[in-house]
C-alpha cells in the first residue's frame, strides 16, 4: 500500500494515548508515539521520512497508512496592531477562522470548534451561517499547529502561541469528543505543554456537557451570559430556554468547585445598545453573580452587516463597567483588536463563504499580505 491511500489516517489530532493504541494495533511499540507527537507538534514536521529517530520500518509503515495533514491557509491578514487572522480551508472545502492576538506577555490564539453554529444567538454573525458540521480534533489542533508555524517566535519564548481560547466559530461543548482530544494535545508536555489556565473553553451554556467537561479536565471556563435575567437571555441566547440561568450558574459552581478547580469562571457579557446595557441590567447582574467567584468580561458589540443591534457609546460602556467594579467585581472591557482586518467574530469568513456554506471563491491573499509581527515583538 502507498501513501496515496484513499483514506489515510490523519495523525495530527491524535492524542499520545490514542496514537500509542494505534501503534500497538500496528504491532509497533506504543512509546514511539511520544517521539511522533514531538516531531509533529513541537517541530512542526509532517513528513515521516524526516523523523530520523524512528526506525526505517516504522517510518515506512507510517507513510503507507497515515498522513499528517493540517488545514490549508486560504487567507491571511495581519493588522497594524499585530493581530493576525486566517481563514483556513478544510479538506472538504469548508472554511473556518482563526485569530492570533499578541500582547506583551502572551500570544492568544482564538480557535474555531465547528463550521458554523447551531445555537442561533441573535447578536452573533456565525449564527447567521447556520450549522454545517463539527470540526475533527485534527482540524482544531491544526489551527495551533499552523499558527505556530507561521508566526515569528518572540524572544525568550519557544513558540508564538501561549494561550488558546475557544472563542472562534462554533460551540465547543457541542463538539465534545474532538474538544477533549484537542485539549489533551494542548496540555501535553510533548505537544504544546500549555497550562490549564492558558486554555479557555467558552460556552453559551450547554449544562450537561459542562458537567461532563468538569469530569475530564479543569481548563479555564468562560460562559457567555450576555443577559441578567431569563426573559432577556431567552431572546439573545436561545439555548437559555433549555438551560436557564439558574441551572447554568449551578453548573458553573460545580465546574469550579468540584475536583479542586480553583480558578474563577469568566462571564462574558456582550453590550448591546439599549438592550442589556442599562444601569438596571448592571444591578441585576450584580445581584445574580454576587455569590459566585468570577470575573466579568464586557464585550462591546461588534457590528456586522444586517445586525439588529448597535454598539453602545463609550460612556455607556464605562458606566456599566463602573457599576460592576464598585460592587467588587473584577471587570474587564475587551478591547477591539484587528478592526482593520475584520478580526472580530465571524467577519472575514463572509468573504470566502456564501450563505449556504459552500466554499465560494477562495481568495489567496497570503502571498501578498505578510504577517505583521506583534507590536511587542
Q: Which is nearer to ligand SAH, 114 or 162 (CB)?
A: 114
Q: Does 270 bind ligand SAH (CB under 6 A)?
A: yes
CA 111 – CA 260 distance, rounded (Å): 27
Alpha-helix residue ranges (DSSP H) falling in 133-291: 137-150, 176-187, 207-216, 230-236, 245-257, 279-289
Secondary structure (DSSP) of 49-83: GG-TTS-HHHHHHHHHHEE--PPEEEEEEE-TTS-
User: Of residues 267, 301, 320, 329, which one binds ligand SAH by CB under 6 A?
Assistant: 301
Instruction: Compute the least distance from the CB of residue 264 to ligand SAH, in Å.
Output: 16
Instruction: Compute the least distance from the CB of residue 377 to ligand SAH, in Å.
Output: 26
Stretch that binds ligand SAH, among 54-62, 196-204, 275-283, 348-356 (CB under 6 A): 196-204
CA 161 – CA 208 distance, rounded (Å): 30
Q: Which is nearer to ligand SAH, 319 or 333 (CB)?
A: 333
Q: Does 345 bind ligand SAH (CB under 6 A)?
A: yes
CA 144 – CA 350 distance, rounded (Å): 22
The burial class, CB within 10 Å (0-12 / 13-18 / 19+), for 244 is middle
Secondary structure element (H or E) that encloses residue 129, with its range: none
Q: Report the helix count and the strand count for the chain, using DSSP H and E.
A: 11, 14
Instruction: Compute the least distance from the CB of residue 270 to ligand SAH, in Å.
Output: 4
Q: Does 202 bind ligand SAH (CB under 6 A)?
A: yes
CA 137 – CA 114 distance, rounded (Å): 11
Q: Does 22 bind ligand SAH (CB under 6 A)?
A: no
Q: Which is nearer to ligand SAH, 24 or 177 (CB)?
A: 177
Instruction: Compute the least distance from the CB of residue 124 to ligand SAH, in Å.
Output: 4
Stretch 135-174 residues interacting with ligand SAH (CB under 6 A): 167, 171
Q: How far is CA 238 from CA 45, 218, 233, 297, in A?
A: 43, 26, 7, 20
CA 203 – CA 140 distance, rounded (Å): 16
The burial class, CB within 10 Å (0-12 / 13-18 / 19+), for 47 is exposed
Contact in structure between 319 and 280 (CB atoms under 8 Å): no
From the candidates 117, 121, 124, 345, which is the catalytic residue? 345
Contact in structure between 337 and 300 (CB atoms under 8 Å): no
User: Of residues 23, 39, 100, 123, which one binds ligand SAH by CB under 6 A?
Assistant: 123
Q: Which is nearer to ligand SAH, 28 or 171 (CB)?
A: 171
User: Of residues 73, 124, 220, 352, which one binds ligand SAH by CB under 6 A?
Assistant: 124
Q: Which is nearer to ligand SAH, 58 or 135 (CB)?
A: 135
Stretch 84-113 residues interacting with ligand SAH (CB under 6 A): none
Q: Which is nearer to ligand SAH, 76 or 268 (CB)?
A: 268
From the candidates 97, 139, 181, 268, which is the catalytic residue? 97
Q: Is 76 part of the annotated catalytic residue set?
A: no
Q: Does 267 bind ligand SAH (CB under 6 A)?
A: no
Q: Does 243 bind ligand SAH (CB under 6 A)?
A: no
Q: Is 121 part of the annotated catalytic residue set?
A: no
Instruction: Please enumerate in sequence order all residues whose Cβ is within 8 A of that of 291, keeping only pairs 6 or more positions apart, or say none.
Output: none
CA 127 – CA 237 distance, rounded (Å): 11
User: Of residues 132, 163, 175, 203, which one binds ligand SAH by CB under 6 A?
Assistant: 203
Say how many Å lie between the first and final Cα of the chain, rounded.
47
Instruction: Compute the least distance from the CB of residue 81 to ligand SAH, in Å.
Output: 18
Q: Does 83 bind ligand SAH (CB under 6 A)?
A: no
Q: Which is nearer to ligand SAH, 278 or 336 (CB)?
A: 336
Contact in structure between 121 and 299 (CB atoms under 8 Å): no
Residues that bind ligand SAH (CB under 6 A): 121, 123-125, 167, 171, 202-204, 224, 268, 270, 299, 301-302, 345
* Catalytically active residues, by annotation: 97, 345
Amino acid at each position: 500500500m502507498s501513501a496515496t491511500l484513499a483514506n489515510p489516517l490523519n495523525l495530527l489530532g491524535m492524542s499520545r494515548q490514542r496514537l500509542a493504541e494505534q501503534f500497538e494495533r500496528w504491532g509497533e511499540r506504543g512509546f514511539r508515539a511520544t517521539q511522533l507527537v514531538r516531531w509533529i507538534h513541537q517541530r512542526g514536521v509532517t513528513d515521516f521520512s524526516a523523523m530520523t529517530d524512528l526506525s526505517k520500518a516504522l517510518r515506512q509503515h507510517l507513510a503507507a497508512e497515515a498522513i499528517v495533514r493540517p488545514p490549508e491557509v486560504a487567507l491571511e491578514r495581519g493588522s497594524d496592531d499585530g493581530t493576525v487572522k486566517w481563514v483556513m480551508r478544510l479538506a472538504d472545502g469548508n472554511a473556518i477562522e482563526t485569530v492570533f492576538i499578541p500582547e506583551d506577555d502572551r500570544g492568544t490564539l482564538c480557535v474555531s470548534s465547528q463550521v458554523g453554529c447551531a445555537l442561533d444567538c441573535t447578536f452573533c454573525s456565525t449564527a447567521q451561517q447556520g450549522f454545517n458540521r463539527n470540526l475533527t480534533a485534527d482540524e482544531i489542533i491544526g489551527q495551533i499547529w499552523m499558527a505556530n508555524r507561521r508566526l515569528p517566535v518572540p524572544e525568550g519564548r519557544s513558540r508564538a502561541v501561549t494561550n488558546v481560547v475557544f472563542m472562534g466559530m462554533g460551540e465547543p461543548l457541542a463538539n465534545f469528543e474532538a474538544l477533549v482530544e484537542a485539549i489533551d494535545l494542548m496540555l501535553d508536555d510533548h505537544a504544546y505543554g500549555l497550562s490549564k489556565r492558558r486554555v479557555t473553553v467558552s460556552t453559551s451554556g450547554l449544562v450537561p456537557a459542562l458537567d461532563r467537561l468538569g469530569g475530564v479536565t479543569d481548563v479555564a471556563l468562560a460562559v457567555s451570559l450576555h443577559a441578567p435575567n431569563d426573559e432577556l437571555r431567552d431572546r439573545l441566547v436561545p439555548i437559555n430556554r433549555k438551560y436557564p440561568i439558574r441551572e447554568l450558574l449551578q453548573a458553573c459552581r460545580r465546574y469550579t468547585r468540584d475536583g479542586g478547580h480553583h480558578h474563577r469562571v469568566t462571564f462574558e457579557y456582550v453590550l448591546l445598545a439599549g438592550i442589556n446595557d442599562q444601569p438596571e441590567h448592571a444591578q441585576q447582574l450584580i445581584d445574580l453573580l454576587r455569590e459566585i467567584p468570577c470575573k466579568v468580561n464586557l464585550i462591546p458589540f461588534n457590528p456586522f452587516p444586517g445586525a439588529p443591534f448597535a454598539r453602545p457609546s463609550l460612556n455607556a460602556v464605562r458606566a456599566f463597567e463602573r457599576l460592576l467594579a464598585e460592587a467588587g467585581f473584577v471587570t474587564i472591557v475587551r478591547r477591539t483588536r484587528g478592526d482593520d482586518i475584520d478580526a472580530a467574530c465571524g467577519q472575514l469568513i463572509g468573504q470566502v463563504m456564501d450563505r449556504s456554506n459552500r466554499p465560494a471563491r477562495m481568495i489567496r491573499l497570503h502571498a501578498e499580505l505578510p504577517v505583521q509581527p506583534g507590536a511587542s515583538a
